Every structure is written in structure tokens, then in C-alpha cells.
Amino acid sequence: MMSELAESNRAVVDDAPPRSRWLPWRKQLLRDKKALFGLIVLAVLTLTAILAPLIAPYDPNAMDFMMMEGPSLAHPLGVDDLGRDLLSRLIHGSRISLFVGFSTVALALIAGVALGVIAGYFGGIADTIIMRYIDLQWAFPNFIIAVYLVAVFGTGLANVIVAVSLAFVDDFARIARGMVLTIKQEQYVDAARTLGASHNRIMWRHILPNATAPIIVQATVSVSYAILAEAGLSFLGLGVEADTPTWGLILADGRSFISRAWWIGVFPGLFIMITVLSINFLGDAMRDVLDVREVKAD
Amino acid sequence: MADALLEVRDLKVHFPVTRGALLQRVVGQVKAVDGVSFTVRPGEVLGLVGESGCGKTTVARSILKLVAPTSGQILFDGTDIWAMNKAEEAGLRRRMQAIFQDPYSSLNPRMKIREIVGEPFVIHESSIGRQEIDRRVRDLLDLCGLPGRIADRYPHEMSGGQRQRVGIARALALKPDLIVCDEAVSALDVSIQAQIINLLVDLKDELGLTYVFIGHDLSVVKHICDRVAVMYLGRIAEFAGSDTLFGQPLHPYTRALLDAVPVPDPAVEASTEHQVLSGEIPSPVNPPSGCVFHPRCPIAVEGCRTDVPPLQEERAGHFAACSQVRFETPTASPPSIHSPPMP
């Protein structure tokens, strides 16, 4: 359709092969020893959770007559007060704990980011209404809100997930809004408006992809909080049903026997600690890597 | 086509200055643009120059419908762009495009070049399909002197000049009539600037484009523009054909600007006495009374403090907003800024 451009007017472009923008930070993440530790632990835990029925040596609810027996070859982590194998219960418990952790964060992330992006992008009345609500929620500790919501909705796994995710919405909304306010000023957003792009297109195609770094970091941190929140709710008897093996519930049971059978309380606590620690290591590393926006490549 | 492709009528853009978090009250106005009028004819390059903060970018943003004017009108092909319905606006977006200043922030870092240049088609001609879009993207890249293989790169894998070419390709995608170039070359190295300017000139000739070219580099503006408006503190100080403006400037501000351009010859430069303007550009929150230029003007008289000089046609096509200068017959030398004429 067009005639030639003078040869002198062509750009000189080197022949470097196109690089993936994700490669550098993937590499960098693996070089970080703590992040690598976190990644491996999480991978093992996830795999255990998925394959729980195959891996667990016993049925988590099968009872034996050797109640409150300490760690032995037959029961590596001991037996609880009802004669159930602790290792099997913890392995099955990882399913629920991890599921609650990841699904609440996924829900909170979707809702919070949507609210934050809309508030930041449109400003004005929408911003005022959304952010005043978020401020209100911000004033209370997340866990208190989760307790309150469970009290309203009733206990049970689904309700716990909804309650904890609602309690975490404000963190994501606040971060997303802050990012949008900055990115909204970028010239590529003006360029998209000049092209006639719709608000939806600008919000989700232009602004959000550039706001991901702090949101990802917040998500990793929140996963560990969510696991703790579920454990806490179960500990208070506001979580799942009493016979469901979750880390929080096992820990709560173990409390009564701490002087006679330390393993019932200590091992679920260790599992929670290691998981949360791994996720936090990963989150810290991601913060370090993703904060260096773009500079790496040039 | 109407006589003017774009007409700006008495454009004012004021930003409120507010104080207080809960009970906001307006404590002042930033008069970024305060009564600017000009027309752009089809096929010409209109320059808008002035120092930082004079309002030239705000004018551009109003033309692009990015900032709402406080008052005044902007007519594109006879229609007020701020009174358009959705369909008309979509039509406007296709006919008016922009090239932005900073080649590092005007391209979305998370999109490949293919997506960036193809986006206009996705928005306006979504029916044409991916393959056709890819083909057109390649044509556009080629038109802007970029090889097709960069389509799969991300902006951060390219140099400033290459990125600016991508920005130009995106602006050309919908075959617009008017392109607003907001400091389109200011952020580039001088050698790259020349390449991009030549590209803009070639494209204009080839595609019959009209440019509104905003800049502060006078040599660039002189090279590319047919007519030039000099802005100072939100108003037009002088408006004339490029040759006239650079050859026979009337307004004392224009003269000071031209005088400040360094001559690339140390000997000449050393022997030249520069008329340096005293003071800083005043704040647009609290602009001076009367002629906004009077506190810095070497030829100001008492009346300049109180009377706002209108933009007057001193001779055919040459407008200046100054009460102290008059165009005299070509035999007489233009009034010197060192010795003000007696009133």
C-alpha cells in the first residue's frame, strides 16, 4: 500500500532473538536460596495434598486402641487422643488448609482488585463509595472480621472460605487502587484513550497487567495469613466440622493434651509454620524481583 | 472539506487548586490555557512552541479529548469535539491521532509490538481477523522503517528511536487526517531526532497528513512547520508563517526566544550579545495583570500593567499580542528590543 522509504530513513535493528520478559525473573527467583526452599516445600506439600489418599499410611478417621501413643515406627508422628494416626490426619489436613489458603486468596484477589481498579480508574463518587467502605473494613483486624462473618453465616468449609476472603478484600483493593492511580497517568493510557479504547479495555488490558507486581506479592503474603486464619477459626471452633482433619483443628485438639502428648500439638504447628514460612520466603523473593520494574532488560 | 480541518476557539483550560481533605474548597485556578484560538488548515504543519509550563501540552490534550476545556470550543472538520455522541467520537478517534513525547512510557510495556500497532484495528475494525491485522501491522512497521521481525518484541527490547517509530506506526494505523505530535522528538538523541523528523516529513507528503507539532526546540519547529504559534503563560504571543516568524519576529518574547538559540559556531557565539530575559516564567496560578509578559518584557511601558493586548493582525497572516510593536514597511528595520520606541 505504501511506496518505499528512503534507505537512509530506516531504523537499524539488531538481530538479537526476541527474549521472553519472564525469563530473567524466573532465573533470578531460582538463584535465591530461600525462594528455592519455599518453592520446593510448597511443591511437595501440594503434591501431598493432591495424592493424600495414596500417601497417607492410615485412614485419617480410623481409630485404634493405642490412644495418645508417641512417635513410633508404626506411627511416625504418633497417635492422637482418639487413636487416629497423626501423620495421616496432617496429610489429609493439608488438602483443606492449602485449599482454603489458595481459594480465599483467589476470591479476595478477584473482588479486591476489581473494586480497587474501578475506584482508582473512575475516581469521583465511585472512588468515594468504594474506598470509604474499604476504610471501614481497614479499621478492623482481618481476623476479627472473619470471626464476625462466620458468626453471621454459620460454620462450615464454604462459609469459612467466603468469610476469610471477604476479610482480605480491603488489602487487595487498596493496593490495586494505588497502582491504578499511578499507571493512569502513563502516556500509554493516554495513547489508548486517543485510539478510542473503551474503559474496560483500558482498565483490564492496559492498566491491570502493569499493576501485577505488588498484587502478586500481596497474594503470596495473604495465602499464609489465610491458612493461619482458617487454623485460627478452627481452633476457636468456628471453622469446619469437628471430625474434619485440618491443621488448625488438630492443633486445637492437641492443646488439651499438651502436657501428656506434646506431639498432637507440635506437629500441626510445625506444618503450619513451615508452610507459612515457605510462602513468605517466596513472597519476599518475588517482591525483590518484581520491584525492579523493567530496568533489568535494558 | 471545510476550510479549516481543526479550529480552536478561545480555548480556556483552568485547573482548580483545592485545599482541605474533607471539605474541599477551591482556593485558586491554574490557568494552564487562557484564551487560545487558532486554525489548522488541511495539509499544513502547525507549530506550537513555548517554554515548559506555557500550556502547549494542555492545548494538545484538549484537542485529543484527554482534558476537558473550561470554556471555548474545538471544532474538528466543523463539529465540536466536546459535543459529540459515541458514534461521532469513534469517527473522530479514527481521524485524529497522536504521537507522544516519551517513547519509553507511550508504549505499554506488557504488550508486544504486534499488539500495540494492531490495537487500533482491534478497537475499530475487529471484524477483519487476526491474519489481516498481522499483515497490516507488518505494512505499517515497514512504512515506518522497521523490519517486520520486531513485531514479536516487547518495547523494552528496543531503542528510543525504534520505539518512537512504533508510536508513529500506531498513530498511522487508521489512516488519520490529523496527527498531534506532542513533543514527538524532544526525548530523543539529536541524531535520532533528525531521522524521526525526516520520517514525519516523508509520511506527511506520502499520506497527505496534517500535523499539529508541539515542541520547544526552535530549530526543529522551523524545519518542519508551515505556521507557528508562540505561546507564553497560556496565551498565544505571536502567530505567523514559519519564515516570517523566524525571519521578522515582532513580539519581544519571540525575539528573546530566538535570541536564546545557540549558534553552532563558537566564534559567532562569543561575539554575540544575548538579550537574556530576567526572571522566571510567572506562576499560572497568579498570572501578572495586563499583558502577562510585562514583568519580563524589555520594552514594557506603564500601560502594559493594566491592558491586556489582543492578538492583532499586524500584517497579512502575522499576528502579535503586543501593544508596543508595529510592523513597519520592509525598508525600516523592525523595532529593536534594546531601544523601545517612543510612545
Chain A positions in Cβ-Cβ contact with residue B179 (cut-off 8 Å): none
- What residues does B29 pair with on adjacent strands? B16
For residue B1, pLDDT over 50 is answered with no
- Mean of per-residue pLDDT scores for chain B: 86
Kindly identify which residue of chain A lies nearest to residue B122, measuring between CA atoms: A197
Q: B181 to chain A, minimum CA–CA distance in Å?
A: 12
Residues of A at the B interface (Cβ-Cβ below 8 Å)? 1-3, 5-6, 8-11, 13, 16, 18-19, 21, 186-188, 190-198, 201, 205-206, 209-210, 294, 297-298
Query: Looking at beta carbons, which residues of chain A come within 8 Å of B146?
Result: 10-11, 13
Report CB contact under 8 Å: B156, A298: yes
Residue B88 has pLDDT above 50, yes or no: yes
A193–B145 CB contact, under 8 Å: no
Decide: B227 and B239 in contact? Cβ < 8 Å.
yes
Average pLDDT for B52-63: 89
Dihedral sign (CA B291, B294, B297, B300):
positive
Contact B282, B295 (CB under 8 A): yes
Determine, for residues A191 and B100 on separate chains, whether the beta-carbon distance falls below 8 Å: yes
- Between chains, do A194 and B66 touch, taking CB under 8 Å as contact? yes
The answer to whether residue B201 scores a pLDDT higher than 50 is yes
Q: Which of B104, B105, B83 is nearest to B92 (CA)?
A: B83
Rg (CA), chain A: 24
Cell of B36: 487560545
Are A191 and B106 a contacting pair at CB < 8 A?
A: yes
Nearest Cα neighbor of B104 from B179, B151, B192, B166 is B166
Task: Please report the sign of the dihedral spanned by the C-alpha atoms of residue B85, residue B90, residue B91, residue B97.
Answer: positive
pLDDT exceeds 70 at position B117: yes
User: Which pLDDT band, with edges at 50, 70 and 90, does B339 fall under?
Assistant: very low
Residue A22, pLDDT score: 53
Measured between beta carbons, which residues in chain B are less than 8 angstroms from residue A294?
Answer: 109, 156
Question: Cα distance from A210 to chain B (closest Cα, Å)?
Answer: 7
Structural domain spans, chain B: 253-343
Q: How far apart are CA B45 and CA B30, in angstroms?
A: 29
Report the residue of chain B nearest A193, measured CA to CA: B66
The rounded percent of chain B whose pLDDT value lies above 70 is: 93
Is A190 in Cβ contact with B64 (below 8 Å)? Answer: yes
Binary contact (B119, A197; C-beta < 8 A)? yes
Reported as a pLDDT band with limits 50, 70 and 90, residue B50 is: confident
Classify A62 as helix, strand or coil: coil
Nearest C-alpha in B relative to A294: B156
Q: Do B98 and A19 touch (CB under 8 A)?
A: no
What is the full DSSP assignment across A81-137? Answer: TTS-BHHHHHHHHHHHHHHHHHHHHHHHHHHHHHHHHHHHHH-HHHHHHHHHHHHHH
Would you identify the CATH topology of the domain A32-51+77-292?
Answer: MetI-like fold (1.10.3720)
Low-confidence ranges of chain A (pLDDT < 50): 1-4, 292-298
Which one of B64, B97, B153 has the shortest CB-CB distance to A18? Answer: B153
What is the least distance, in Å, from the CA of B187 to any CA of chain A? 13
Question: What confidence score (pLDDT) does residue B210 get?
Answer: 94
Backbone φ, ψ for residue A65 (5° rounding)? -85, -10
**Residue among B110, B113, B141, B203 with most chain A CBs within 10 A, to mutate:** B110
Size of interface A-B (CB pairs under 8 A): 110
User: Which string of DSSP letters, residue by residue, matches B261-296?
Assistant: SPPS-HHHHHHPPP-PPPS-PPPTTSPPSSSTTGGG
Residue contact A21–B162, C-beta within 8 A: no
Rounded distance between C-alpha atoms, residue B66 and residue B78, angstroms: 19
Contact (CB<8Å) A191/B195: no
Note the pTM of the prediction, 2 decimals.
0.80
The reported pLDDT for the residue numbered B71 is 92
pLDDT at A27: 73
Q: Which residues of A touch B145 (CB under 8 A)?
A: 5, 9-11
The answer for residues whose C-beta is within 8 angstroms of residue A197's C-beta and 6 or more apart is A205, A206, B119, B123
Q: How near does any CA of chain B get to the CA of A167, in Å?
A: 27
Of B339, B295, B318, residue with least CA distance to B241? B318
Q: Which of A4, A7, A9 to mutate to test the interface with B (most CBs of B within 10 A)?
A: A9
Dump pLDDT digits (tens) for B281-324: 788 888 888 888 888 888 888 888 888 888 888 888 899 998 88
Helix ranges (H only) for chain B are: 56-63, 86-95, 113-124, 130-143, 160-172, 190-207, 218-224, 242-247, 252-259, 266-271
Torsion sign, CA atoms B321, B326, B329, B334? negative
pLDDT in tens, A184-225: 999 999 999 999 999 999 999 999 988 888 888 888 888 878
Chain B residues touching A16 at Cβ < 8 A:
157
Q: Residue B139 above 60 pLDDT?
A: yes
What would the pLDDT profile of B183-194 be if each residue is shown by its tens digit?
A: 888 888 888 888
Residues of B in contact with A6 (CB under 8 A): 198, 202
The three grid cell numbers given for residue A176, joined into one nine-digit string: 490495586
The distance in angstroms from the start CA to the end CA of chain A is: 34
Write the DSSP string, A265-281. Answer: HHHHHHHHHHHHHHHHH
A267 neighbors A253 (Cβ within 8 angstroms): no
CA B233, B237, B240, B243: dihedral to nearest 10 degrees? -80
Q: Is the pLDDT of residue B329 over 50?
A: yes
> What is residue B327's predicted lDDT score, i.e. its pLDDT?
67
The domain locations on chain A are 32-51+77-292
| Spatial distance between the Cα atoms of B178 and A280, rounded to a whole number of angstroms | 53
Place B75 in a pLDDT band, splitting at 50, 70 and 90: very high
To test the contact with chain A by mutation, choose from B157, B196, B212 the residue with the greatest count of A C-beta atoms within 10 A, namely: B157
Q: How far apart are CA A298 and CA A24, in angstroms?
A: 12
pLDDT at residue A292, as a whole number: 44
**d(CA A20, nearest CA chain B) in Å:** 9
Residue A163: Cβ within 10 Å count: 27
Whether B109 sits inside 8 A of A191 (CB atoms) is no
